[in-house]
Structures are given as structure tokens and as C-alpha cells.
Amino acid sequence: MPSRHFVKYTFVKVEPEWRRLDPARRAEDKREFIAACEDFGSDHLLRCFSTVGTRGDVDLLLLAQSINLERIHEFHVVLGQTGLMKWASTPYSYLAMTKPSEYSEESRLEVRPAHSKYLFVYPFVKTREWYTLPRDERYRIMQEHIRIGREYPNIDLNTSYSFGLDDQEFVVAFETDEPADFLDLVQRLRSTESSLYTRRDTPTFSCIAMSVARALAALDGETVAAEPLSGVA
């Protein structure tokens, strides 16, 4: 049977003072950060996204996945030792785990590799009333939710679960090349019966997929060599 995975969403905010450091110092800080990501990403899924221009309180997202929680811990210990993280904080941090869905056979036990330009992420909590409904009733309600989602085949959903692991119950991450389609999907889902049982689904993060090097370059405007807008380095 395939192994379930831990999924960690780490949002990083760099202090403005870092941008006023000497360029050579900033370049070394970024090299250390990239090296930590490359080490983890050599045998684990690690994806990077920039939030520069889409959020004011975070600058980038690292999405890390491992079947071993200790390995995620070790990665963040090493990351915290880099020069860049001495000038940074993590305003938002979400820990979750994959598991089969109760309502759909399309769920997965690991987060898929990158395919799309954009990732939309938010923590999600249902009301306690939801869990008091009979299982058959919850299944019925969710089928409308799933049916509407299938009308947008260019949007790929990754759902992970945080019960007992973190403050939220789920972390949902939608991938797409078309932000307008995601906006339309979310608006339509507001009218479903399942939305009546939503307690919290914010903050929402609009993230642009790119390499770690490009995401770091976006912090201080330094250029990097031409490369695809995805990957680790």
C-alpha cells in the first residue's frame, strides 16, 4: 500500500533591512538558502512559489513533502541556519498529512509534482455541526461540491489533513494556469449546501510557481540566468 505523506507549507517573510545589505552578502545568504533546499529536494518533493505582489505579509512559499516528519524537521533546522533566515520570519506555517478522501476516489496520498503556473492555498475548518451529520448525508452534500469542481478540469486540487497536527482541519491547494477559472469556481462553491458548514477558509494565498533562485531574486530585484519557472534551484 502506498505510504501517506506529511506536507508542510512554510510562508517566509524577509525583513526590508535585508535588502539594504551589501549585494555580496545578499548573494551568499541566497546561496545558503538554495543549498538547503537542494539538499532536501534531492530526494523529497520541494516546490517553491513567490508571493511578491500577491500578498503583503509573505514573500515566498516552500511546499515540502516527506513520509517522515523528522526529515521535514531537519530541513527546517538547516534552513533556519542560513543567512537569509536570520533576516526572515514565518508568519504562516501549515502542517498536514495526506489520506484517502471519504467522499471521492480521486484523492491521493502524495502531492503531485508541479504542472501549473499558479497555486492557491488556504487552511480550512468546518463547523462542528458538519461532523454530527450522518455519514450518508455528508456524502450526499459533498457530491454537489465535487460535481462543480469537475466542471473545471484545468484546476487540480490537492487536499491534505491536519486533524490533531495543526490548528486547521485541512489545507487545500488548487493548481491552475488560469486564475480567472479559480475565482469563478470559488464563487460557485459559495452557493453549495456544503458551504453552509464552512467555519474558516482564510487566509488565502495566491502563489506563482518558480524556482527557489527566481523566488529569491524577486526579493531584491537581482537577476538570475534564464531558466524554467519551476524546480528547486
Same-domain check for residues 82 and 153? no
For residue 107, count CB atoms less than 10 angstroms from its CB and return exposed for 0-12, middle for 13-18, buried for 19 or more: middle
Same-domain check for residues 66 and 130? no
Inter-residue contact 203 to 3 (CB < 8 Å)? no
pLDDT digits (tens, 9 = 90+) for 46-72: 999 999 999 999 999 999 999 999 999
pLDDT at 230: 46
Sign of CA dihedral 193, 142, 165, 56: negative
91 within a domain of the structure (yes/no): yes
pLDDT digits (tens, 9 = 90+) for 25-50: 999 999 999 999 999 999 999 999 99
- Percent of the chain exceeding pLDDT 90 equals 86
Domain of residue 91: give its range. 6-97+207-220
Same-domain check for residues 129 and 211? no
pLDDT digits (tens, 9 = 90+) for 100-142: 888 877 667 777 766 899 999 999 999 999 999 999 999 999 9
pLDDT at 229: 45
pTM for this entry? 0.92
